[in-house]
Chains A and B, each alone.
Chain A
Amino acid sequence: MKIKILDSKISNINSVKNMIEWIGYEAQVVEDLKKIDCNDRIIIPGIGNFGSAMKYLKEKGLADQIKEVALIKKNPILGICLGMQIFMNESEESPGEKGLELIDGDVKKFEINDQNFKVPHVGWNTFKGHKNHTIFNKLDYDRHRYYFVHSYFVKCKDSSNILASTDYGIKFTSIINKENIFGFQFHPEKSLKYGAKLLKNFCEFEV
């Protein structure tokens, strides 16, 4: 089993690779998803702009490859931050640019008129799980916390795709899941042992 990290040229893949190796898995940075074994896991990190990310993925044929891996081959696949947002239908960040449509719903901008909740949402926060799932195995719910940096958040149409939510002035979805497809709004690779635990659970997830 390998953890394949898609280099979409828009993101900071190093940190993800470092943490995967730290928790004891073999990480490989790949530029496309043409050669994927059935037990490989895929991670799509992402920071930047929804529209330019989608344009890049479509130009390089990566959008179709991601869909094939996620929907037909059904490898476990994880999008982080923007990498999660592109799984949705579209985003207020880039109207008119279609997302990967792996999970039904859209990406909205935070509109909070409260000095205590500045946008972007930057810093440590936590989440509440909406249901039991192996991704939450052995989490330290008393102390766990995760590092967030974002101005947009996902809004699922089907609430069964919401695995966890976070409070920041409003309640927003911070983990999505549909079968083999996962998305984290926060950065597990920067979230100390708590992020490491979640990534480990993802690596061990079996469809």
Chain B
Amino acid sequence: MKRIIPILLIKDRLLYKTINFKNATYIGDPFIALKIFNEKEVDELIVLDINNQNKEPDFEFLNDLASEAFMPLSYGGGISNIDYAEKIFRIGFEKVVLNTANYSNFDLLSLISGRFGSQAVICAIDYKISLFKKRSCVFMNSSKSINKNIIQFINEAVEAGAGEILLQCVNFEGTMEKMDISFIKTIVDKVNVPVIGTGGSPSHKYIKEFFDSTNASALAAGSIFVYHGPLKGVLINYPSYDLKEELIP
């Protein structure tokens, strides 16, 4: 069953939305968003702390969040050792999302996957497209990059134990214009684990186009689930059961 996954960006315990990983705009109270997502029967949720690269995860806050979430949950942000990951699992999250930890090697990813299973580890691949259309992986909120073929990098992550790939283009993130769909397709066709495509989806209607043109396992998005209408008024939303039937092949 293909999945549609809201991404909640958290900063100082509040819900934000970014554009190109920058310009964080305050959205509201994450607990209210969570309650609405419970009622809307979301497939799962990804919670990313965008202000937490070098700190320990805010376990108290995450515990409160998990206690009201009755769907599968993933968390990313500041997971720099296996003890943090274990704490996150005990709190009630099913998966951790690793990005910065993979900058120099996949040791942590491999360790977590070995102990908790590959289904518990999402490798987040953020990438930028240069003026010359060259794509390269970026880390630490897109502040550092490495010069390596993305497919090769992903295959190494899978080899190390990543159970899922969260593939996100920084240039498209939050723009609500379109997604880097041909590249997502290329990756999906070459990678052996489920790929979650994200970054740039303009509307609920677009989800159908996404699933029609790629074989990705899931689409994740932020803006379309927190904004409504051309003026981008804040409204937490998610496709209804019937609409989902139309959007997902």
What is A's interface to B at a CB cutoff of 8 Å?
A: 12, 14-15, 18-19, 22, 118, 120, 122-125, 143, 145, 147, 149, 189-193, 195-196
Inter-chain contacts of B72 with A (CB < 8 A): 147, 190
Inter-chain contacts of B241 with A (CB < 8 A): 143
Whether A123 pairs with B94 at a CB distance below 8 angstroms is no
| Interface assignment of B219: CB less than 8 Å from any CB of chain A | no
Whether A123 pairs with B3 at a CB distance below 8 angstroms is yes
Binds A, one of B19-27, B84-92, B197-205, B226-234: B84-92
| Interface assignment of B54: CB less than 8 Å from any CB of chain A | no
Whether B66 pairs with A18 at a CB distance below 8 angstroms is yes
Whether B68 pairs with A18 at a CB distance below 8 angstroms is yes
Whether B119 pairs with A149 at a CB distance below 8 angstroms is yes
B34 CB → nearest A CB, Å: 12
Whether B43 pairs with A14 at a CB distance below 8 angstroms is no
Count: A-B pairs, CB below 8 Å: 52
Whether A124 pairs with B43 at a CB distance below 8 angstroms is yes
- Cα-based distance from A81 to B41 in the complex (angstroms): 22
Inter-chain contacts of B43 with A (CB < 8 A): 124
- Cα-based distance from A191 to B41 in the complex (angstroms): 9
Known: A125-B1, A192-B41. A12 touches B71 (CB 8 A): no
Known: A122-B119, A124-B1, A124-B43. A190 touches B70 (CB 8 A): yes
Known: A120-B117, A120-B119, A124-B1. A190 touches B66 (CB 8 A): no
- One of A12, A125, A147 near B92 (C-beta < 8 A): A12
Whether B66 pairs with A15 at a CB distance below 8 angstroms is yes
For residues 180 through 224 of chain B, which have their beta carbon under 8 Å from a beta carbon of chain A? 194
- Cα-based distance from A40 to B35 in the complex (angstroms): 30
- One of A118, A124, A191, A193 near B3 (C-beta < 8 A): A124
Tally of contact residues, B, Cβ under 8 A: 23
Whether A190 pairs with B119 at a CB distance below 8 angstroms is no
For residues 1 through 28 of chain B, which have their beta carbon under 8 Å from a beta carbon of chain A? 1, 3
Whether A192 pairs with B38 at a CB distance below 8 angstroms is yes
- Cα-based distance from A12 to B117 in the complex (angstroms): 14
A110 CB → nearest B CB, Å: 13
Inter-chain contacts of B119 with A (CB < 8 A): 120, 122, 149
| Interface assignment of B105: CB less than 8 Å from any CB of chain A | no
- Cα-based distance from A69 to B163 in the complex (angstroms): 38
A111 CB → nearest B CB, Å: 18
In the complex formed, the residue of B with least CB distance to A126 is B1
A174 CB → nearest B CB, Å: 15
Whether A191 pairs with B92 at a CB distance below 8 angstroms is no
- Can you report 6 A-B residue pairs in the complex whose CB atoms are below 8 A from each other? A18-B67, A18-B70, A18-B92, A122-B163, A145-B1, A192-B38
- One of B63, B71, B94 near A192 (C-beta < 8 A): B71
- One of A12, A120, A193 near B41 (C-beta < 8 A): A193
